[in-house]
Chains A and B, each alone.
Chain A
Amino acid sequence: MRLLSKISYYHFWLSAVVLGITGCMLFLFLRNEISKEIQKQLELQTDMVAQEIHMGRTVNFPLINITKGSDSLMKLPKIFKDTMIYDRLQKVTEGYYYFSESKKINSQHYRIMVMTTYIGWDNYSKSIIYIFLSIAGLLIVLGTLVNYFISRRIWKPFLINLKRIKAYSVSSKEELQLTLTDVTEFKELNNVLIDLAARDKREYNALKEFTENASHEIQTPLSILKTRLESISQQPLTVDIARLLNDAKQATIRLSKVNKGLLLLAKLENNAFTDVQWVSIEAVLKRNFDLVEDLFQHKRLHVEKHIQSKVVFASQFLMEILISNLLTNALSYTPSGARIIFSLSEQLLVISNEGEPLSFPESKLFTRFGKGATDNKGNGLGLSIAKQICTLNKWQLSYSYEKHMHHFSIHF
């Protein structure tokens, strides 16, 4: 929920509760006051009727009832109550107040009752509800509008900075630049963020340096191993020693591949590739396929191609790695004589190859060393690198198994 909506939401409920309570209070106070006034008016009226009787005039008025009686009347209390009277004209029963009092006038005992109408309480309550509802509506609408304009002003630097932080990468050469603001909290936030970015950058650079140093430190001894082993190969060797030597050579090759792969992954995660340009996937595919066509032929693989032209804005270097990794994967895991299909369109690159279903969970396909070290094919990093390259370019690399074929698809 956006901050603005959240504030408006609480604002709404607050207004509703406050207005509800004050509305009820207003209604009750008003009724109480008016009842008191009516009672006073009726008492006065009773008094005036008594005055008339005292003067010897006959009082005859529709809403006044006078009863003559014995002194037992004097024991009855004063009564102020409401009652219902049928209104002939409006044809509805309406609420009335009546007031009764016993009086002794000229040694006669009288019971005087006067009545007056309620003055339409229903309408009062309706009016009050309407007025309060419109106050609530206005408060919400105007409140939201005010909030909106305030947020446009006060939140603007915050939103701009948010955008900048989103776009910021520790691997970029520029420092994090944030817009100034006069809100204390935002100022503090900016300072914290700038500190954080600087610290991240330092740590990133240290890590990068470490990775490169580690790589250097590993690659140089590996070079020595490799060249020395090749030099030993030049000597006349017995079959046994040749076997031992070969194992050692294979191991150094694997080690150097894993090292290179891990380094590449580290760089991919840090997005260290800046050689972006327009790259024709079709050309990369063709070049890599031409390079290994003899390997496909040697395995008697039936290759079908449905290729359209497709250009992407990406690192040339990474595109070569992406395509060659997918090709190597298809080449390694397709049984001899089976079918491989390459199809490239504007939205999709699919490399499909025949083969038995995976012998391990599909979820491990794109993880590092996911398939376990059960075979010696590949270094266990190829597909994970391919996935990472796709992620970096915001493409989707997915896998499916249908009709006895493995499908690797890239959605551009």
Chain B
Amino acid sequence: MKVLFVEDEPVLLEEMETYFSSHDCICEQAVTFVQAEQKLRDYTYDVVVLDITLPDGSGIDLIEDIRKSHLETGILILSAKDSLQDKLNGLNLGADDYLTKPFYLEELNARVNAIYRRKTLKGVEQITFDDFTMHPSSKSFFFKESEVSLTRKEYDMLIYFVINKNRVVSKASIVEHLWGDHFDQSDNFDTVYVHMKNLRKKLCNISGKDYIKTVYGMGYKFTY
């Protein structure tokens, strides 16, 4: 997957690039509007992660350009403003998703992957690890040929883990992913634990392998 990050904050840019590169992405960056314009003219990307507030322009204005020349490119707006109007404008102009700062890299990764699957792979892609196969479009999950039943939350959690494999994923980030912005409270850490335990048990019973490690005090890490 080839991703362009348009962001003027060097630390965020570095974090995003380091993380996405470690997940087999080809990353490019642009720190200004002009630079982004140029890169979008010269190359084609699978997904563009677009900060709205740039020193020399608004990211919103880039959306139309991208849509004109590259219909397949997924666009994710990254904004610090959390303004409904920006969000509506962006989505109307053809952006695929909207994420408000501050965000979790894991969440960004999950969203970028979802856009990539939907746009570039037209929803036919499957996510595989060992003998397991996930079909995100139909929300089904198989071990070899036989279907494994997961609850909706377990399914969402598993995708989140697989997409963010080999990374310590914090409970807070899982809470935000499973229940959205409004319900993420430390109260819900227990429920995360219950879902994780059930998921781990199901995977372990079928394959005999423990995929999910608890990292003391930090969260969970999915490895295969």
Residue ranges of A at the interface with B (Cβ–Cβ < 8 Å): 212, 215-216, 219-220, 222-228, 230-231, 233-234, 237, 239, 242-243, 245-246, 249-250, 252-253, 256, 260, 263, 267, 272-275, 288, 291-292, 294-295, 298, 317, 320-321, 324-325, 327-328, 331-332, 376-378
- A223, A256, A325, A377: the one within 8 Å of B9 (CB): A223
A332 and B80 in contact, given A222-B101, A246-B218, A291-B180 (Cβ under 8 angstroms): no
Whether the pair B168, A215 counts as a contact (CB closer than 8 A) is no
Stretch at the interface among B42-50, B69-77, B81-89, B121-129: B81-89
| Cβ–Cβ < 8 Å partners of B185 in chain A | 328, 332, 377-378
Q: Are B102 and A219 in contact (CB-based, < 8 A)?
A: yes
Given contacts A237-B218, A295-B183, A298-B194, contact A223 B101 (CB under 8 A): yes
Is the Cβ of A228 less than 8 Å from the Cβ of B102? no
**Interface: B206 (CB within 8 A):** no
Question: What residues of chain B have their CB less than 8 Å away from a CB belonging to chain A?
Answer: 9, 11-12, 15, 18, 53, 80-85, 88, 100-106, 151, 153, 167-168, 170, 172-173, 179-188, 190-191, 194-195, 215-219
- CA–CA, A231 and B190, complex, Å: 24
Inter-subunit contact B104/A216 (CB<8 Å)? no
Contact A220 B101 (CB under 8 A): yes
Whether A224 contacts B12 in the complex (CB less than 8 A), given A233-B218, A243-B217, A298-B190, comes out as yes
Q: Does the CB pair A295–B12 fall under 8 Å?
A: no
Majority DSSP secondary structure for residues of A touching B: helix
Contact in complex: B191, A273 (CB < 8 Å): no
Establish whether residues A225 and B168, one from each chain, have CB atoms under 8 Å apart when the complex forms.
no
Q: Count how many pairs of residues, one from A and one from B, have CB atoms less than 8 Å apart in the complex.
A: 124
Hey, which chain A residues are within 8 Å of B104, CB to CB? 226-227, 230
Return the chain B residue nearest A291 by Cβ.
B179
Q: Which residues of B contact A275 (CB under 8 A)?
A: 84, 88
Give the residues in chain A near B217, CB-CB below 8 Å: 237, 239, 242-243, 245-246
Give bound CA distance, A81 to B194, whole Å: 118
Residues of A within 8 A of B183 (CB): 291-292, 295, 324, 327-328, 331
Closest Cβ of chain A to B68, distance in Å, is: 26
Q: What is the bound-complex CA distance between A174 and B186, given in angstroms?
A: 44
